[in-house]
Amino acid sequence: MPGFTWNNSDSSTKIGSLMDRPNILWYCTDQQRFDTIGALGNNFVNTPRIDRFLATGTAFTHAYCQAPICTPSRSSFLTGMYPSALGVNGNGYEEFPRHHESKLLPHRLSKAGYDCGLVGKLHLASPAKGQEPRVEDGYRYFQYSHDHKGPRDRGHDYAHWIKERGFAPEDILSERAVNDPASYRMGAKLKSFGGFYEPSEQDDNIPPHLHQSHWCTERAIEFVTTERSDDQPWFLSVNPFDPHPPFDAPWEYFRRYDPDSLPGAHFAPGDLAHQQKLADAGVDFQSSPVHPDELGHRELQASYYAMIEQLDHEFGRLLDVLEASGQAENTIVVFTSDHGESLGDHGMLLKGCRFMEGLVRVPLIIAWSGRFSAGQRCDELVELLDIAPTLGEATGIGVPWYNQGRSLMDVLEGRTTTHRDSVRTEFFGAINYPDQTHATMYREGRWKLVSYHGKNLFELYDLEQDPWEHNDLSESPDHKDTLLRLLSKSFDQQVAASPPMPERTAPF
């Protein structure tokens, strides 16, 4: 059964006055895989600042998002609830459900006296018409930019910033070609959606000093250096668009990578046939299976790593400001991403209804100087919805009855090395594609089960023997008992992840 309980009271270690409460910096990249950090084993990507940050906190190496798509994942980790429990299962909603706004972590923190800010992407609702509609989300400071495409007629603060520097946004920002369902469904076939833009010294993409990732840091610095009273804690959510495709890194960073020297996608001869079987069954995805060479996967990887190196630099700038301003010791810093990127693995690009490791497993590093264990690596299974109850406990605002996550505080403070026995991820018609596929992933120990509901299709992987999921065992007679056992457990998890009932206040 899932590692969570519902109760009728907040349960947390209460921290006294506002003065005692930590600040929170939550840095969330977009579409960054788990295997993109140098100090965690990738010798091809340059992430010196994240590597140094890792030495100050705990790296959770097996953190899983609750949906491999933006809006349900972000809604989930900001509330501590599964997407299906919220009823926020996909992208494209007109607005986040107002009856759930009070469950958003920044809303709760603002009610508890925190000064809350957001920079960059929000994506709790559709941004297709400009700045997305907001509910009472708790953010006083709000600097919005969904991405570096546009320009937008309204609400695109990054575009306004470019204008202030004497540049025309239409000359700097990349073109938005996905404005209607028909073009959106072309997915990877549109260069502006998921293609590769090779820069040169003479013909750059967006240069670093005008890039959205740089703008995010500038606005974040403005927020964290704002004059506040001594007893005023703050919460800041920083959400750059990179390394989300298209693959359009600036020349300054792209030039540091030689595509021919990179390992490229994880691919085996049988992958195309397997992925084609899923595609023939109508399972939704933003690309069709092709050999990674047809995708130019090493060039894509070079640009992807270059975008991450730029983010590493910008994240480091923000940490330097925290240190210089004397706030580092009283600030919890969370570094993570909303979901991953297939990046040519198995012949697939971008995202959709698949649950490959590169798509559902993300970085998660949490630090609090002097309070949390430093330089710790935790290989336990973790869900991103565990972040909200962790911060609820750390700040003293509590873990509410509806939370389905499990606080990581015992691990972070060194009281235990165990956390979860299993994790789950959902895809319930999450993108505007024809099949509106419903599927779930359940991982327990070495085993991963994927169920494509209503299709009599499954995937079963032994991640100990087959870490990159090239050998589906779901139809293996030798693994029938394992399949049935995991199907039963997965069903139990799905039932337990149903929307929680209202808080129980009386025996009957």
Q: Hey, how many other C-beta atoms are within 10 angstroms of the C-beta on 190? A: 16
- In terms of Cα–Cα distance, which of 187, 171, 298, 161 is closest to 245? 187
Angle in degrees, CA 229, 232, 236, rounded to 5: 125
Whether this prediction's pTM lies above 0.75 is answered by yes
Domain locations in the chain?
18-421
> Which H or E element spans position 376?
strand 376-383
Tokens of 466: 């087959």
Q: How far apart are CA 237 and CA 119, in angstroms?
A: 6
104: left (phi over 0), alpha (psi -120 to 50) or beta: beta
Tokens of 256: 């540091």
According to the model, what pLDDT value does residue 177 have? 61
- Parallel, antiparallel or unpaired: strands 364-367 and 331-337: antiparallel
Q: Quickly name the fold that domain 18-421 has.
A: Alkaline Phosphatase, subunit A (3.40.720)
According to the model, what pLDDT value does residue 9 have? 35
Handedness of CA 467, 472, 474, 475 (dihedral sign): negative
CB 241, CB 30: distance < 8 Å: yes
Mark out the alpha helices in 325-458 (DSSP H runs): 357-360, 387-395, 409-412
CB-based burial of residue 92 (10 Å sphere; 0-12 exposed, 13-18 middle, 19+ buried)?
A: middle
* Side-chain half-sphere CA neighbours of 71 within 13 A: 25
- In terms of Cα–Cα distance, which of 82, 62, 81 is closest to 445? 62
SS3 track for 212-280: HHHHHHHHHHHHHCCCCCCCCCEEEEEECCCCCCCECCCHHHHCCCCHHHCCCCCCCCCHHHHHHHHHH
> What CA–CA distances, in Å, run from 156 to 120, 153, 250?
9, 7, 21
> What CA–CA distances, in Å, run from 371 to 10, 405, 410?
22, 22, 11
Residues 6+ apart with CB under 8 A from 492: 1
Q: How far apart are CA 70 and CA 337, in angstroms?
A: 10
According to the model, what pLDDT value does residue 4 have? 29
Tokens 């972000």 belong to which residue?
74
The distance between the two most distant Cα atoms of the chain, rounded to a whole number of Å, is 73
Query: Tens digit of pLDDT per residue, the chain (508 long)?
Result: 333 233 333 433 344 455 589 999 999 999 999 999 999 999 999 999 999 999 999 999 999 999 999 999 999 999 999 999 999 999 999 999 999 999 999 999 999 999 999 999 999 999 888 889 999 999 999 999 999 986 666 779 999 999 999 999 888 887 766 666 667 777 788 888 899 999 999 999 999 999 999 999 999 999 999 999 989 999 999 999 999 999 999 999 999 999 999 999 999 999 999 999 999 999 999 999 999 999 999 999 999 999 999 999 999 999 999 999 999 999 999 999 999 999 999 999 999 999 999 999 999 999 999 999 999 999 999 999 999 999 999 999 999 999 999 999 999 999 998 999 999 999 999 999 999 999 999 999 999 999 999 999 999 999 999 999 999 999 999 999 999 999 999 999 999 999 888 888 899 9
Please report, to the nearest 10 degrees, the dihedral formed by the alpha carbons of residues 451, 453, 456, 459 taken in order: -20
Beta strands in 121-244 (DSSP E): 141-144, 234-239
